[in-house]
Structure 1
């Protein structure tokens, strides 16, 4: 159990990862998530008023969940005069006894007029029974809970706990956000970003390394919104190049191959839990590619890091619909039955059931027609200019609309004839839409 770091970046230990060293401590320094902490946003207003509700931060890896918690802590300390104690736990290493200890300490502090805020990272790794430990204490106000998760809270968290917390959804960082974060990181490591198009005079004795802006741009693009990966790649590249150089105090120059090599190293050094999303992606693509051996291999890898079998089965249900769809109607039933089996039996007995489902899905005929058609229909609605079109009159519900029923006439029910059923049931302006046509982009 560790107390959450609450000091500025200048106090970070030298051996801490770069992501921790440059972690923001003020709202003004936080990059991304403008919908949550931008002007007039709910969370920003709550922080400015010193109010921290119990909340769940849901978003992909490296989007800034822990950094946002650090900002919340710093902003709260400005207003609370150190009457709030912050405790950090991780569900990957903490257990029920750790939470009980925090509860005891929080109850003691409450008698002294002090509040406790508990940050539970990877909260979805507590199963739903374990999550019950938080319920009475969150409801009684013994402590405020801030949970962070990469899994959908509606399926991974206890519904009773979820009803007592506000859920804030974080998006993956944009390329522009990552460029700003990387620029700050370069400066913090005594580096300098230079223009590729101009010949630079590299004689600044305070600069340890130079890197071209196009390489920063490439790194921000390749990391797909994950700041942790981007910063890890940059840090390893700098450390490796500095340790290998024989130029003494002469600044080094980082090139693209240095960054590419460091990203490979970062992947090798990743913690098992950090790479689980990549393993799920590998499982998905293996099934999509009809590679039974690879699909089985990635399943075992996921099980080997103690991933909840119910979570795995839920992923398989999605894959069954997205990658196979109606081309094999038994695939969805197989995945749903596997989920039920995992819930009833659990590990280790359900491992063979998961394997059976994965093998079946990998061998099934593939079709993304349903997923693509659904995506096109969503795209049509999201890109609608102005209000959404109205439901056509002849298919409106008249059961509780007396005026409409009167307008349609007494014989409305009898009028549901072959003629009406053969009409286009799409609203006005969309009569020619075909979400199953590969030439129709849904607009």
Structure 2
């Protein structure tokens, strides 16, 4: 049997027991360091000891090591036993263990995808899983954990940024460096990684780059906003979509099948089979309704199903009352649509506002009504919507209907006076009014061409003509400020109002010059 040196005490041990020894060695080393630092703070110093005393200390140290090892093993067993006895939520029980058990996400992990091929080969890349709640990010991490468990050269560590800090990451990296000496790769799953600020995220950079750890991050927020670019360049961003109604329905039926005490029927009083194990009878339409109101969140659907079954559990009276019957109406009365996914500070916020603006631009009043109402329903700030409507009135309607801007500003003032929720009708009315108004982007496009000309100008900008300058002093008049200026129309005044060299430039014309562009 090959022997391996311990990186802590430099002693040789057999390969089968080296891992257990290293864990004990690290524990004892940390304990000794703490005791030494404590003694230094208390003012104690090391004293010279005789060889006999050293022998006694060494024997006591060995005895304490064995007793500590027994204590650790007993504590570990107790923790495992308590974990097994602890009831788990249904969503946690239904976590898949194999890649083939994942439901949905065909584009990211479906057959033929690169990530699926890598995971089948037991290779785990650095990646950031980005998707809404309940779409399968943690489930995928559970599959990766099972892959690591099957391999002798991989270990899986799971942390959540809501509870862990930088010191926890440093401890994992410290152990990972030690494990790498034994050809073992550490896979770190960091849930809610966007909770770390961008300075804290820098902790991962050197260890991901040199391969000390393989990082899998999970986030519900757009990584472009919440993660720093250096970390994104070292990881592949995997976009995970909401689960479809069919996907959620598959997960619900799988949960019922694993329960063994639930019978699903298409119609009540027709397909009910007498079975001693059956405690619940659920109508199939109930599961479809749950899948529809879950908004693609499998965790929410499973939690609602578990809550419903628990509330209607017949208990010890099963032999008297029979199994609990759950119809569609029963579940609808017990569980309402509790939320709508809307992040007021994340990507959903900008996407919804963009949908409002583009619907107005396209004169689609029905869509403008829908997106405005949806933003308000999700808790969006009414004043923010009103400010965006003012922008739309200037950018897309412009001079085709100048009163649209007046009404948009009045809508903002009305929202400030009335407040929520009464201001909702003001915003919806304004959005529909702007959508139905005639459109003209003439001024907006001319402004963009003018901005482009200033950006691309080479050398100093042309000076303002003297006759357009304001003469506020005698010296300025002597120099020529304001000389020859008159109040007549441009066609009668004989004056040029553009700078020298730009007399023939027309920003309102798409072909006003080679240096100007038409906004698309």
Interval of TM-score (by shorter of Structure 1 and Structure 2):
0.5 to 0.7
Larger radius of gyration: 2
- Which residue among 367, 376, 390 is the counterpart of 2:431? 367
Q: Distance in 2 between matches of 1:369 and 1:57?
A: 41
Paired position in structure 1 for 2:106: 34
Shift in CA distance, 176/276, structure 1 to aligned 2, threshold 3 Å: closer
Q: Per-residue deviation at 1:421? A: 6.1
- Which residue among 235, 241, 247 is the counterpart of 2:306? 235
Q: Distance in 2 between matches of 1:158 and 1:91?
A: 16
- Which residue among 392, 403, 427 is the counterpart of 1:326? 392
Shift in CA distance, 419/267, structure 1 to aligned 2, threshold 3 Å: closer
Paired position in structure 2 for 1:24: 96
- Which residue among 54, 57, 60 is the counterpart of 2:126? 54
Structure 2's unaligned 5+ residue stretches are: 1-82, 354-370, 396-415, 437-503, 513-519
Query: Is 1:114 the equivalent of 2:189?
Result: no
Q: Per-residue deviation at 1:288? A: 5.0
Shift in CA distance, 258/104, structure 1 to aligned 2, threshold 3 Å: farther
- Which residue among 201, 207, 213 is the counterpart of 2:272? 201
Q: Distance in 1 between matches of 2:201 and 2:168?
A: 13
Q: Distance in 1 between matches of 2:375 and 2:133?
A: 27
| SS in structure 2 of the partner of residue 119 of structure 1 | strand
Residue 194 of structure 2 contacts residue 227 of structure 2 at CA under 8 Å; is this kept in 1?
Answer: yes
Query: Is 1:71 the equivalent of 2:71?
Result: no
Q: Distance in 1 between matches of 2:134 and 2:204?
A: 26
| SS in structure 2 of the partner of residue 52 of structure 1 | coil
Residue 148 of structure 2 contacts residue 155 of structure 2 at CA under 8 Å; is this kept in 1?
Answer: no
Q: Distance in 2 between matches of 1:32 and 1:39?
A: 11
Tell which has more relative contact order, 1 or 2 (C-alpha 8 A, sep 6+). 1
Q: Comparing 121-130 with 249-258, which one deviates more in the overlay?
A: 249-258
Q: Per-residue deviation at 1:205? A: 1.1
Paired position in structure 1 for 2:207: 137
Shift in CA distance, 193/160, structure 1 to aligned 2, threshold 3 Å: same
Shift in CA distance, 184/45, structure 1 to aligned 2, threshold 3 Å: same
Alignment of 1:15-414 (within 5 A): 15-78=87-150, 80-81=151-152, 83-189=153-259, 190-196=261-267, 199-242=270-313, 246-248=317-319, 250-260=322-332, 262-263=334-335, 277=343, 325-327=391-393, 367=431
Q: Distance in 1 between matches of 2:173 and 2:201?
A: 14
Residue 285 of structure 2 contacts residue 328 of structure 2 at CA under 8 Å; is this kept in 1?
Answer: no
Q: Per-residue deviation at 1:145? A: 0.5
| SS in structure 1 of the partner of residue 92 of structure 2 | helix
Deviations 1:5-53 (CA, angstroms, capped at 9, x unpaired): xxxxxx9765111111011111221100011221110110111122111
Structure 1's unaligned 5+ residue stretches are: 1-10, 269-273, 300-314, 330-355, 373-413, 423-434, 436-443
Q: Aligned residue pairs: how many?
A: 316
Residue 122 of structure 1 contacts residue 147 of structure 1 at CA under 8 Å; is this kept in 2?
Answer: yes
Residue 232 of structure 1 contacts residue 263 of structure 1 at CA under 8 Å; is this kept in 2?
Answer: no
Residue 84 of structure 1 contacts residue 114 of structure 1 at CA under 8 Å; is this kept in 2?
Answer: yes
Shift in CA distance, 216/291, structure 1 to aligned 2, threshold 3 Å: closer
Q: CA RMSD in A?
A: 4.4
TM-score normalised according to structure 2 size: 0.52
| SS in structure 1 of the partner of residue 158 of structure 2 | strand
Residue 128 of structure 2 contacts residue 238 of structure 2 at CA under 8 Å; is this kept in 1?
Answer: yes
Deviations 1:372-401 (CA, angstroms, capped at 9, x unpaired): 9xxxxxxxxxxxxxxxxxxxxxxxxxxxxx
Segments of 4+ in structure 1 off by > 4 A?
A: 11-14, 274-285, 287-292, 319-325, 359-366, 368-372, 416-422
Q: Distance in 2 between matches of 1:417 and 1:194?
A: 70
| SS in structure 1 of the partner of residue 215 of structure 2 | strand
Residue 344 of structure 2 contacts residue 380 of structure 2 at CA under 8 Å; is this kept in 1?
Answer: no
Shift in CA distance, 282/198, structure 1 to aligned 2, threshold 3 Å: farther
Residue 279 of structure 2 contacts residue 314 of structure 2 at CA under 8 Å; is this kept in 1?
Answer: no
Q: Distance in 2 between matches of 1:46 and 1:197?
A: 47
TM-score normalised according to structure 1 size: 0.61
Q: Per-residue deviation at 1:127? A: 0.9
Residue 12 of structure 1 contacts residue 21 of structure 1 at CA under 8 Å; is this kept in 2?
Answer: no
